[in-house]
Amino acid sequence: MKKLSDCRVLLVDDTKVNLDILVEGLKSDHKLSLALNGETALQIAARTPPDLVLLDIVMPGLDGYEVCRRLRQMPETADVPIMFLSSLEEVQNKTRGFEVGANDYLTKPFEMLEVKARVRSLLKAKAYNDAVKEHMAGELRVAREIQMGMVPRDFAAVEAAYRVGFGAVLEPAREVGGDLYGICTADPERLVIFLGDVSGKGIPASMFMVRAITLARLLARQTVEPERILARLNDELAADNPSCMFVTFLCAVFEPRSRRFILANAGHCWPALLPAHGAPRWVGKNLGTALGLEPGLTFQRAELALGEGDAVIFYTDGVTEAFNPQEALYGSERLLADVTAFAGQPAPAITAGILRQVRGFAAGAPQSDDIAILTLKVGGGRADPSGQEPRA
Amino acid sequence: MPLDIQIQKNPTGENAAALTVTLIGSLDTVTAPDLERQLAPWLGGPVADIVFDLAQLKFISSAGLRVFSVTRKTLKERGGQASFLNLQPQIREVFDIIKALPGVAIFKDVAELDRYLAARQRSHREAT
């Protein structure tokens, strides 16, 4: 935790003699910044964020209430403790001070000993708060690394063995998230590909994600049909699931020899097929029920004959439900229109291109949901003997 | 977008044992915990049926859907049911994920719900 002597206190008062008294009383205990009016106080706070602000109310220009309100709106000082020091002693003045975001209120004239005691108390609370936040941030950083380690990134071996290309991205909206994807090389004739989206986001979603992805990998090796993988995964997840978390899930089996692509869906948005020739379209019809809600469900399969250069794009609704600053949705129709431009490109370029389109659409609006995109392209791997597939 | 939650115990009529929950706005990661908190005392009590009126629900995320499925599960365990009314097209699309589950019923409007509940209560009376 930060030492109290390292903490910086910003003193704001339009009367110089008041500032002198505070400086005299606090200079040996803390670092100090001084401002003789509200505008200067805001500039200093933005440049050198303080650990505490002692704020006069009646000042020419911006008054203390307004300074307090603006400090709360600035990200650097949104959580900084603020104490009013004012000769206004009416209850209405004090309540208004707390309403605009102050943590404490002391009336003038004051005893220096009381100011020092309150300053110490507020600084200690801030230091504790900062330490807790830092600790949480540290744990979440490690959790994120662990989670990111659970999805495959290097596809070279599987691309060569199955003559396919992969492009994948996983971007949680927070440090950790509930989106997942996986690729299982069950046997030489069968490649299992899956992608899912756990309800909600953040830590609860990430814990369920770990459960789902671990089970899915295991079941993908043991079970031949994708609809059976979903049924078994559903039964496992539905057992002991008191908080009713669920995961929408796509599972596909690709047979490299016949290029048959068998797909089963548990409540997830259907993937897009981007054929080597022709317009992109959705694959599949019946949505199915999400996994984890009720045991004993069955799932349907859809079959597709893929050709050389065809790409199938799995994605989560963080893509289609990305909002722009005007609160409009990116939407599935826009996705289908946008992917047309990526026909003929290798899988990583398709995935990156979609992410770029979504980011461009969001135009800086905060990412509202986790994003996962997994593109499979037939014949698009490094081992492609035609050599027609440049790497992105 | 915030969420306005109105919970009303049906005073009379065929579905007197049911609770009507009207949701206005957006049921998402931010607002879903609030709905879960407000439903908890009712789910812990004797209420068997809950009717969610979604005529004014503009957006639902999977976090919101999870609250519905917790409600469904709790009510189903005591022989009750969660019903959903007046789904807007964008909400209907998301509902496909849970609509097939036992303990979930979706109705076009109040009239359709009332007919269903009346029939169900008649069959209960005949059974006892």
Establish if A162 touches chain B: CB-CB under 8 angstroms: no
Residue A194 lies in a domain: yes
* Domain parsing of chain B, residue ranges: 3-127
The reply to whether A342 and A257 lie within a common domain is: yes
Any idea which residue has 């948005």 for tokens? Answer: A269
ipTM, two decimals: 0.82
List of residues 6+ apart from A261 with CB closer than 8 A: A252, A253, A254, A255, A303, A304, A305, A306, A312
Q: Which two tokens stand for residue A89?
A: 């002693």
A294·B102 Cβ contact <8 A: yes
Residue A121 lies in a domain: yes
State residue B16's pLDDT score. Answer: 56
B101·A294 Cβ contact <8 A: yes
Quote the CA–CA distance of A69 and A73 in Å, as a whole number: 7
Residues of chain B contacting residue A246, judged by C-beta atoms under 8 Å apart: 62, 65-66, 69, 97
- A98-to-A14, A42, A53, B13, B73 alpha-carbon distances in Å: 21, 19, 14, 49, 44
State residue A242's pLDDT score. Answer: 87
Domain end marker among A121, A143, A165:
A143
Which is more confidently placed, B52 or A285? B52
State residue A380's pLDDT score. Answer: 53
The domain B3-127: what is its CATH number? Answer: 3.30.750.24
Residue A48 lies in a domain: yes
Quote the CA–CA distance of A284 and A300 in Å, as a whole number: 10
The reply to whether A56 and A163 lie within a common domain is: no
The reply to whether A55 and A98 lie within a common domain is: yes
The CATH number covering residue A295 comes to 3.60.40.10
The reply to whether A190 and A330 lie within a common domain is: yes
Residue A383 lies in a domain: no
Give every residue of chain A whose pLDDT is below 70, as ranges.
Answer: 380-392
Question: What are the backbone dihedrals phi and psi of residue A323, each rounded to the nearest 5 degrees, phi first?
Answer: -100, 150
Quote the CA–CA distance of B124 and A74 in Å, as a whole number: 61
0.90 exceeded by the pTM? no
State residue B27's pLDDT score. Answer: 95
Could you give the percent of chain B with pLDDT greater than 90? 44
Domain end marker among A89, A123, A143:
A143
* Chain B closest-CA separation from residue A291 CA (Å): 9
Residue in B66, B73, B96 nearest the CB of A199: B66
The reply to whether A167 and A307 lie within a common domain is: yes
Residue in B62, B72, B100 nearest the CB of A199: B62
* Chain B closest-CA separation from residue A278 CA (Å): 28
State residue B11's pLDDT score. Answer: 59
The reply to whether A125 and A174 lie within a common domain is: no
The reply to whether A183 and A119 lie within a common domain is: no
The reply to whether A164 and A213 lie within a common domain is: yes
In DSSP terms, which residues pair with A373 in a beta bridge? A169, A315
Identity (one letter) of the amino acid at A74?
Answer: M
* Chain A closest-CA separation from residue B12 CA (Å): 32
State residue B47's pLDDT score. Answer: 83
Do A353 and A342 meet the contact criterion of CB atoms below 8 Å apart?
yes
Residue A390 lies in a domain: no
The reply to whether A156 and A297 lie within a common domain is: yes
> Coil, strand or helix: which one is A356?
helix
The reply to whether A98 and A160 lie within a common domain is: no
- Confidence tier at B12 by pLDDT (50, 70, 90): low
Gap between the terminal Cα atoms of chain A? 46
Domain end marker among A143, A170, A186:
A143
State residue A126's pLDDT score. Answer: 95
* Chain A closest-CA separation from residue B35 CA (Å): 14
Number of structural domains found in chain A: 2
Do B34 and B3 meet the contact criterion of CB atoms below 8 Å apart?
yes
State residue B127's pLDDT score. Answer: 66
Question: From its phi and psi, is residue B26 left (phi > 0), alpha (psi between -120 and 50) or beta?
Answer: beta
Question: What are the backbone dihedrals phi and psi of residue B69, each rounded to the nearest 5 degrees, phi first?
Answer: -75, -30
Identify the burial level of A72 via C-beta atoms within 10 angstroms of its C-beta, where 0-12 means exposed, 13-18 middle and 19 or more buried.
middle
Of A330-344, B22-36, B103-117, the one with minimum mean pLDDT is: B103-117
- A66-to-A59, A94, A371 alpha-carbon distances in Å: 10, 14, 40
Residues of chain B contacting residue A294, judged by C-beta atoms under 8 Å apart: 101-102
Quote the CA–CA distance of A299 and B78 in Å, as a whole number: 27
In chain B, which residue's Cα lies nearest the Cα of A249? B97
Residues of chain A contacting residue B96, judged by C-beta atoms under 8 Å apart: 267, 287
What is the gyration radius of the CA atoms in chain A, in angstroms?
29
Domain span at A354: 152-378
Residue A291 lies in a domain: yes
Quote the CA–CA distance of A132 and B73 in Å, as a whole number: 36
* Chain A closest-CA separation from residue B78 CA (Å): 15
The reply to whether A122 and A246 lie within a common domain is: no
A243·B62 Cβ contact <8 A: no
Report chain B's mean pLDDT, rounded to a whole number. Answer: 87
Residue A98 lies in a domain: yes
**In which order are the strands placed within the sheet that holds A52-55?**
A31-35, A8-12, A52-55, A82-86, A104-107
The reply to whether A348 and A249 lie within a common domain is: yes
